[in-house]
Amino acid sequence: MSLEQIAILLVGLAGAVSFSTILWTRRIKHVWPKRKQIKIVNPKGFFTGSAEVIFQTRVIANRPFVGVMHLLVFYGFVTFGLKSVTHVYAGFLDYAHPIPMGFLDPILDGFAVLVLASVIGLAIRRYTIMRHQLTHMLESGIVLAMIGTLMITYILERPWGLDLGISGPGVGGPEVNWWVHYFILCSFPSLIAYGKHLHLVMGPVNVVLKHMVELPSDRPIDGADLDMGDENTPEEHFEAELIRVGMPNGVSDFSFHTLFDPAACIECGRCNDACPSADAGLKPREHFVLAFRDPNTNTESLSELAPPETVSTCTQCRACDTVCPVGNRPSRAGLELRGRMTAEGLYPPRGLKEGGSDRVTASGNIFAGDPSDRATFIEENNIAYFNHEEHNVLFVLGCQGAHSPEAQPVVIATARLLEAAGIQYGVLKDESCWGEGLLHGGGIMEDWPFYKMERVMELSEALAEDHDRTILTICPHCKDNIGVQLSEAAESMELKKFASVVSHVSFLKNLLDDGKIQIEKKAETMAVHHPCKTIHNDETADFDALLAAAGVTGKTAGKSPAVPSCCGGGGGGFLWDSPAKVSQNRWKDLEATTGESKVVTGCPGCHRMLGVAKSEEGSTTDIANLVYERLKSNIAQAKSEASVPESSEETSA
């Protein structure tokens, strides 16, 4: 073995050791023990996630021109992987020319030119147009220079370049060109492992994982499984539980996905651009991703990197998750952060606590409304109380439907539509807040273990333990908390989960499809606000189908529904006067973009938030109201009644 071959092996070994050491100590060591937290709930997501990686659809959709350049660089890495192996092999054996790769050679030649052009384009963009918005300028410059140099050295050895080949007599241009290429190949992985460009490796993994570990629904809340025990439980158990759901050790206490996201983060800032609470200082990239990069960050430092007052403005709309090109879910990390901060006594802010858990503890609902007002509303509108022997559907009103004047017409419209369809339904005689706003906003941690059991038993007793019975709600927040959080609680109590919790949007769409209700089209144009929860639960198509069946031409604003545009009520936002004036911004956007002053939505929280922010001439309505107004039997009855007085007057005359 020659000295040059020994040198090649030593340089390669040094590069491999450096890469693996940096990767393990800085990025993987603190995440690896938590790998068992990965729960695959959607195996088919492997294919959809892989397709997103292969075609880079999310990258291109958000920023087409830049996305195409990143696509070319990405495929440059993929296509040159095999070429790099043959390049090292040929140099090790002292070949005079690169190993031919048949039809792949012209493809690689084309990619080399395109990647080099993309690198130049990205460099110009980074250091001119985006110089004040992007981070890691030096590191990114080095990476771009290394990629560009790899392409240049490749081109120089090609016949259509300078045709240097790999080696020649003595030590000259070919050898220098090969060694430059080889040194970069060996050092590049270490730079990637050290800095933000690890996303080139971790990003594709994270995208596929995202599709496999989540289905369209609400997310389990970290800390929601807090076990307080009973009167015989020792104090040590409670202390251990608070440690488990809290963050006494800082960043290292967080879940696998929260700790893995920083390794995949491209730091592009798309999440910050999409955040509706940006005006209040919320930056998902900094507060929900980069804050978790260093596993040695303690509790105090983390609360400085992600201040509770700022964290509280997150509406959990998931716009940041939707636009992320590498599968990160900042809003999920934000949700976990709220829960762990609550366990440490750092959260929620005073205003959110007073508007949330304090009211619910005192009255059972977020409005501090008198339960007798709910009973009066039910009786005045001839709505039956649920009887498991007579009724197939339990109609849950929620705090909004029972106590909000804006939402009560939605309850009435939905009830009348159920009756028109022949659905046997009833409502609970007594009903308390189902807790979604409290959990997502924070502030009910200590009470939650008992509160959730009370709500589970309340439902279970009403249903006579038939947890497969349909539970219908006009509020997607109630739907999610019953269907996810309370279902998990039921299973922990050795009961069945609530298997059929549905929103009025999808339920009314099914009634229409089944021919149980028929409506007449009435041409009308209005602005459309797709609720974030409707988007999360993959019910946008049902919502739009109801609009079309009603003859409504809907106009949207922003990138909704592809990217959620929040009303400001999510994440506990409707519980208090949040510093983030999201509802005002959303109403202005809807009115200015669509030119319409009437807005239709499908969530009482959105209805309420937009109703508060609307202009003087503005109005809001719900999809159920639109459908009920167009109910054929109702229209026929109205025409019949309208004709009776006329004929009576004519007869008496």
The model's confidence at residue 648, banded by pLDDT at 50, 70 and 90, is very low
- Common-topology check for domains 363-509 and 516-633: yes
d(CA 139, CA 145): 10
pLDDT of residue 445: 66
Which CATH number applies to 246-347: 1.10.287.890, 3.40.50.2020, 3.30.200.20, 1.10.1060.10?
1.10.1060.10
Q: Does residue 636 surpass a pLDDT of 70?
A: no
From residue 453, alpha-carbon distances to 116, 139, 342, 490 in Å are 61, 52, 20, 8
d(CA 633, CA 238): 58
Q: Is 387 exposed, middle or buried (0-12, 13-18, 19+ CB in 10 A)?
A: exposed
The stretch 109-123 carries a mean pLDDT of 92
How does the average pLDDT of the chain come out, rounded?
Answer: 92
pLDDT of residue 634: 55
| Predicted confidence (pLDDT) per residue in 390-437, tens digit | 999 999 999 999 999 999 999 999 999 999 999 999 999 999 999 998
Query: In CATH, what number does 516-633 get?
Result: 3.40.50
Give the number of C-alpha atoms closer than 13 A to the C-alpha of residue 238, restricted to the C-beta side: 11
pLDDT of residue 171: 64
CATH C-level class of 3-208: mainly alpha
Q: Does residue 55 surpass a pLDDT of 80?
A: yes
The model's confidence at residue 645, banded by pLDDT at 50, 70 and 90, is very low
Cα 179–Cα 185–Cα 188 angle in degrees, nearest 5:
130
d(CA 376, CA 470): 25
Reference 623, options 475, 471, 438; nearest CA is 475
Q: If DSSP codes are grouped into helix, strand and coil, which group holds residue 522?
A: coil
Residue ranges of the domains in the chain? 3-208, 246-347, 363-509, 516-633
pLDDT of residue 21: 97
Q: Is 160 exposed, middle or buried (0-12, 13-18, 19+ CB in 10 A)?
A: exposed
The tokens for 288 are 């929900």
pLDDT of residue 169: 64
pLDDT of residue 443: 64
Q: Does residue 456 surpass a pLDDT of 50?
A: yes
What residues pair up with 552 in beta bridges, in sequence order?
A: 524
pTM for the structure as a whole: 0.89
The model's confidence at residue 649, banded by pLDDT at 50, 70 and 90, is very low
Q: Does residue 251 surpass a pLDDT of 80?
A: yes
What's the CATH fold of domain 363-509? Rossmann fold (3.40.50)
The tokens for 245 are 């759901």
